Structure 1
Amino acid sequence: MMYGWGGSIGIGGWIAMGLMMLLFWGGLITVAILLMRGNHPGGRGFYGSPNDDSERILNERFARGEIDETEFNARRAALRRQP
């Protein structure tokens, strides 16, 4: 029996260890990206505009007929003026 570096692993073992390392780091990077994207619909995470939800609600209210076109345009312009 041989003890030490490479005695019983063989070339197949080194390839398997390399693939496992790639799988580990790939999974870790994937989890980090998914966490940054966020877990809500649309996956905006850190990159989405804070007005996106407001404009979506405004569009829904206009589509339901709760507000008319004049009010819709005025509110949308006001949302887009905010920093």
Structure 2
Amino acid sequence: MKKYELQLRQPQQKRPPRPPLPTALGFGGNEDDDVERDITLQAANNKYLKDIEEQQKKALEEDPSVFYYDGVHDERSRKLLSQKP
């Protein structure tokens, strides 16, 4: 059986301070930093897209039908339909 009694609060451990909340878009902040950040993000995005394009080219060189999803689906559907009595 559980015993109910007065429980005193134990001292809480100190928590580290929270990081500051981000400022709303368009308010507070240096516009020059925003431009530099945008340029950096765009450069990273362009590099990412270039890497993806290179991977796609390599995949197509290895197997030209690697992205032929619809054709594979259609062939499987035809096989399944022809097997049914």
**For this structure pair, what is the TM-score category when the shorter chain's length is used for normalisation?**
0.3 to 0.5
Select the structure of larger CA radius of gyration. 2
The structure in which a higher percent of residues are helix is 1
Which one has more relative contact order, counting CA pairs under 8 Å at least 6 apart?
Answer: 1
